[in-house]
Structure 1
Amino acid sequence: MAKVRTKDLVERFDLEIVAGHDGIHREIVKSDISRPGMEMAGYFKHYPADRLQVLGKTELSYFHDLPNEVKRERMSKICSEVTPGIIVTRGLEVPSELVDAGNDAGVPVIRSPRKTTSVVSRITNYLESKFAPFTAIHGVLVDIYGVGVLITGHSGVGKSETALELVKRGHRLVADDSVEIRQEDFDTLIGNSPPLIEHLLEIRGLGIIDVMTLFGAGAVRNHKRISLVINLEIWDQHKQYDRLGLDEEKMKIMDVELPKATIPVRPGRNLAVIIEVAAMNFRLKRMGINTAQEFSKRLTQAIETDPQEDL
């Protein structure tokens, strides 16, 4: 899991550090964000001190009505030794009591000009992305008609060559050889390439090629949601392959199950076209059109119809 420090948020979202400069290297350990309204009222029994604290218009309006002694006491408690930072939204004036408490405890006090809901949602999304479960898979990830297709298979089966043909046909390469995958939600997997080999393809006999340089910026993308897995394997004449498409395989990556299709590889088969059609067929299924099931229904109806009747 990547490490995130308060300094990273300041740089990422162009925030202003008002106080507590000594603490900008504090580590953020949770994606949850707290709005300490109950704490402003004096209830600290369940104060989540290790979260980022966000003070908006509501919290500060209540704070300004408190007696001066109470103000100093509340801000002193909010600025704990494990608090990674306190964000004041809407460009509001930061209370002097908070500035003093932040400097004393080394807690960064940061200001954003944006609305509170916008700040909370953007930072939460950023932190959840950074803290998402992570794995890496040997394969190729290509964006085909908006569908993120992960192509897997043994080394040398032709994954990279197929990806090159797909790029030539107008689709976009995301990653080759190693695909870094993070689970951003209970059913969402996002794949990207390691920075070292980003936009590169390895073609045996040819070497390393830079797809973006050869085909332009429109031939690559940095990340893509994975929706379909295509597994390439050498044709086995003793194996029975699905010919109708009624059998739906699944592949589990972390906590997410993805639809999977196995395509046998042998001379004369245009794998790029087959994978392209598989991606289009996947889109049709998501729209409620399943050709295999429709054919099965027609076949069942034909069998059940009186043989004497003209079909």
Structure 2
Amino acid sequence: MENQVSVKQLVEDNEFKVFVGEGDLANKFVDVSDISRPGIELTGYFDYYPAERIQLLGQTETAYIAGLGSKRRTQIFQQMAQPQTPMFLVSRDLTPADELIQVAKEQHIPIIGSKLPTTRLSSLVTEYLDQQLAQRQSIHGVLVDIYGIGILLTGDSGVGKSETALELVKRGHRLIADDRVEVYQQDEKTIIGEAPKILNHLLEIRGVGIIDVMTLFGAGAVRSDSEIELIIHLEQWDPKGNYDRLGSGEQRQLVFDVEVPKITVPVKVGRNLAIIIEVAAMNFRSRKMGFDATKTFEDNLSKLIQENSDTDKEG
């Protein structure tokens, strides 16, 4: 079944005003993020009318409607008010036409209002619906915000992800999700992660139990969601393992249609994972800004080799 958002949820989450249809809010659903601003439909052309979309009426549409006769307005609104139409949305605190109110009551379609300008309102609702209707998947891991960078910690159960997250919170960073991370693709380049509602702000520490991070460390220790910019995979140290020592072996993990940068950090007794992850975050940000220590090392090494080669030739 496709994702749906009830009109009731949309209204409550965005603090919209209900003109008509308070009792119908929970029975009407939105299943597409596209919004329709009826223009040609107001002239009577309905061959390609997207009835399943939210119908947004702004100042332009309202002014045009006002110039029509009452009978014509009723005819237009009756054609717009289809069974699959989830709601009418009116911007700028404009008052809906009497004929629209009457038709909406007859067809049990809510009329919702907002004080926002039409373009801003359209962007707000589209972004909200994109998020709510996006395909989601659950990833086993811990999501933390380190210096403003969303980092997903993955690894086998018991490797120390939650304990590391607790240490990072104590060091001033923020927890988004522990154990299960709900992820969705926001756009072509962005993956967003958040906690399932039942696990919001909670962290499980073996031997201690479940703790509420916001209660113990304050509201500044948590975030509701974050872009996942880097995946750090924790794995038990293997003496025979081939670990990247220079940082030149770039890994990526595909999440939906986005390739997320990934590094693997071996775990063994005595390694301070919190500090290592902090440094990994700073190094990642440094690379994004164009400063690559690995490249600098390789350039210096090439220069040294060239200098030695020139010296040998002279000798």
> Does 2:149 match 1:147?
yes
Aligned to 2:311: 307
Unaligned regions of 5+ residues in structure 2, if any? none
Matched to 1:290, the amino acid is: D
1:308 is displaced (CA, Å) by: 5.1
Aligned to 1:135: 137
1:21 is displaced (CA, Å) by: 4.4
> Does 2:186 match 1:174?
no
CA deviation vs aligned residue, 1:92-122 (integer Å, no higher than 9, x gap): 2221111121112121122222211121111
Decide which of 217, 223, 237 is 1:221's aligned counterpart: 223
CA deviation vs aligned residue, 1:11-57 (integer Å, no higher than 9, x gap): 23333332344532211111110000010011111100000001111
> What is the rounded CA distance, in whole Å, between the counterparts of 2:24 and 2:46 in structure 1?
22
Aligned to 2:19: 18
CA deviation vs aligned residue, 1:136-191 (integer Å, no higher than 9, x gap): 11111111111111111011111111112111211111111111112221221111
> What is the rounded CA distance, in whole Å, between the counterparts of 2:6 and 2:203 in structure 1?
34
Q: Give the secondary-structure state (helix, strand or coil) at the position aligned to 1:205.
A: coil
> What is the rounded CA distance, in whole Å, between the counterparts of 1:118 and 1:180 in structure 2?
28
* Residues 285/65 of structure 1: CA separation in 2 closer, same or farther (3 Å cut): same
TM-score by length of 1: 0.94
> Does 2:51 match 1:49?
yes
| Contact 2:3–2:31, Cα closer than 8 Å, also in 1 | no
* Residues 214/11 of structure 1: CA separation in 2 closer, same or farther (3 Å cut): closer
Aligned to 1:291: 293
Matched to 1:10, the amino acid is: V
Aligned to 1:278: 280
Q: Give the secondary-structure state (helix, strand or coil) at the position aligned to 2:60.
A: helix
| Contact 2:33–2:133, Cα closer than 8 Å, also in 1 | yes
Higher alpha-carbon deviation: 213-222 or 280-289:
213-222
1:301 is displaced (CA, Å) by: 1.9
Decide which of 252, 255, 271 is 2:254's aligned counterpart: 252
CA deviation vs aligned residue, 1:275-301 (integer Å, no higher than 9, x gap): 110000000011011110111111112
> What is the rounded CA distance, in whole Å, between the counterparts of 1:223 and 1:309 in structure 2?
60
> What is the rounded CA distance, in whole Å, between the counterparts of 1:37 and 1:204 in structure 2?
60
1:256 is displaced (CA, Å) by: 1.3
> What is the rounded CA distance, in whole Å, between the counterparts of 1:129 and 1:74 in structure 2?
32
Aligned to 2:233: 231
> What is the rounded CA distance, in whole Å, between the counterparts of 1:217 and 1:192 in structure 2?
16
| Contact 2:168–2:274, Cα closer than 8 Å, also in 1 | yes
1:253 is displaced (CA, Å) by: 1.2
1:217 is displaced (CA, Å) by: 2.2
Q: Give the secondary-structure state (helix, strand or coil) at the position aligned to 2:82.
A: coil
1:309 is displaced (CA, Å) by: 9.4
Aligned to 1:116: 118
